[in-house]
Amino acid sequence: MIKKIGVLALALALTACTNGGEEEARAPQPAPSTISAPAAASAAAPAPSATGAAPPATSEAPPAAPGETGTGDWQSALAAALACPAAAMPVEQGAVANRDVTGDGVADVLVAASCTASTSSWPSVVHAYDGAPPAGGWRRLGVLLTYQDGEDDRGLRVKKLLLENGTVVVTSRAFTEKDDNASGGSLTVTDRFTWTGRGFERGERTIA
C-alpha cells in the first residue's frame, strides 16, 4: 500500500514539472496592433489636380440658346452668355431698342453688347429678350449676331438697332483686310431679322 502511494506521488510530481515547462515555454505574446483604415474622402469635396490647385475656370461660355430662361434679370443673362474674362469686365452695353418684337403688346429688349477693351474694341453681339418673361426671371428670344458674324475674324461693331415694319434692322461696322484694329472697320453692314413666332429668321445682308 505504501509503495502504491509513493508511485502515485512520483507521477503527480512529474506531471507538475512537465506542465510548468510548457507554461514557461509559452511566453505571453503581445496583442497585434490595430491599423485603422484611412477615412474615405468626402464625395462632395473636389478632387485636387496634380499640383494641388483647383482646376482653372474656362473663359468660354456655352452658346446662348434662343428660348432659354433663367432667374434674375436679362442683364445677368447677357453677362453670363458673353463670359468676358476678368480683365475685360464689365460688359459694355451698346445700342438698345425697347420695341414690341413678338406682337404681344409688351416692349421687348434688343441689346448690343461687348466686353470692355483696354485698347482695341471687342466685337459686338446682339441678343433679344422677352419683355414679358416668367416672374423673377428672363427669357431669351434669340441671338441675332455673334462674334463670328463679321466680314473677318474681328467681328462687328454694332452702331444702331431699329424695328422697321416688324423687321429688326442692325447697322454695324466691319473690317476689311486693310483696316487696322483701331479704325473700328471701314465697312457699313446692315443685317435684317424677322420674328416668326418661334424665333428670328435672318434676311438679307447689305454691305456698303
Fill in the amino acid letter for 143: V
Distances (CA, A) of 148 to 124, 131, 153, 174, 186: 10, 27, 7, 11, 18
pLDDT along the chain (208 residues), means of 10: 44 45 44 34 31 32 74 95 93 95 96 90 95 94 96 96 96 95 94 95 96
At which residue does the C-alpha cell 445700342 appear? 95
pLDDT at 192: 98
The pLDDT, as a whole number, for residue 63 is 63
pTM of the model: 0.69
pLDDT tens-digit profile of 26-58?
A: 444 444 333 333 333 332 223 333 323 333 233
- Angle of CA points 187, 125, 171, to nearest 5°: 35
Q: Specify the pairing of strand 187-195 against strand 206-207.
A: antiparallel
